[in-house]
Amino acid sequence: MKYMLKLFSVGVFPLILGIVKNYLMPLLPISGFVMVLIDLLVLILWGYLSFKVATSKYNSVVQSIILCSFGLLMLGLVLYQELTINGYFDNVIGFIPQMFFLPFISIPTMFILPNMDKIVLSPIYIGVWICLFVISNVGCYIKYRKNNSHSST
């Protein structure tokens, strides 16, 4: 149980990064290409963090689900606001979910936004969550394979 809480708390990390990025973006005007590189670096950091907190006791998919469960909650809040009320709440419940996805937003935007007639952010948020889940699963799986290859020798 203690380990699961640790995984869940690590899943809050993108929110902290998003708040920092939201504060720094107006202060440091950065081009779109550089922002994509920064977001890719942050995504790699997410995979490394997943690798560091993972253990070989649990399945990598289960660990990834727990790591990304806070993000799934944020995704649910964003989708509810965008698809049901066609806007965002003017309070913390409207602000926090958007900040969670901010550190990674430019990556799926490159692929999804050019193919859209109308700008809708829900596919982008879903793309970000899928990226987080896949990368955390890769990090957890690498840790699982690393620990099991050492134990079998």
Ranges of each domain in the chain: 2-151
DSSP 86: S
Q: Are 89 and 46 in contact (CB under 8 A)?
A: no
Per-residue pLDDT tens listing for the chain (153 residues): 788 888 888 999 999 999 998 898 888 887 778 888 888 999 999 999 999 999 888 888 999 999 999 999 999 999 998 888 888 888 888 889 989 988 888 877 777 666 666 667 788 888 889 999 999 999 999 998 888 776 554
Neighbours of 123 (CB within 10 A): 15
Q: What is the pTM of this model?
A: 0.85
